[in-house]
Amino acid sequence: EVQVVESGGGLIQPGGSLRLSCAVSGFTVSSTYMSWVRQAPGKGLECVSLIYTGGTTYYTVSVRGRFTISRDNSKNTLDLQMNSLRAEDTAVYYCASYSSYFDSWGQGTLVTVSS
């Protein structure tokens, strides 16, 4: 059975850093593209970052230079290091695998950037 579980969200002050983690079971993070998709309160979905099987990474424009996606094949986890956080980064962050579409999703972890 496929399971995707995010952790690491919380309340953080503007300018601060937070690291999200995504634990996966039922498949290996190295065998498929993996992504982080966020949803601001009352808003739609946005693909924030994605990592290809070969290690190439993608970031949406607003987070480039501030966020870093990585995976740990030995732990079968996906991480998102978020630095220089801004109020507009406040959202539920979902970890999702990507084949030709975002197929397996976690339940999400809430990140609130506020003073």
Partner 1 sequence: QSVLTQPPSVSGAPGQRVTISCTGSSSNIGAGYDVHWYQQLPGTAPKPLIYDETNRPSGVPDRFSGSRSGTSASLAITGLQAEDEAEYYCQSYDSSLSAWVFGGGTKLTVL
> Taking CB under 8 A as the rule, does residue 34 contact partner 1?
no
Which listed residue (46, 76, 81, 110) binds partner 1 by CB under 8 A? 46
Q: What backbone torsions phi and psi does residue 31 show, to the nearest 5 degrees?
A: -95, -5
Rounded Cα–Cα distance for residues 80 and 83 (Å): 10
Among 19, 42, 26, 20, residue whose Cα is nearest residue 103: 26
Q: How far is CA 90 from CA 23, 58, 93, in A?
A: 22, 20, 9
Annotate each residue in 70-109 with x if it binds partner 1 (CB under 8 A) or - if it does not, as one string. Answer: ------------------------x---x-xxxx-xxxx-
The residues binding partner 1 (CB under 8 A) are 35, 37, 44-47, 50, 58, 60, 94, 98, 100-103, 105-108
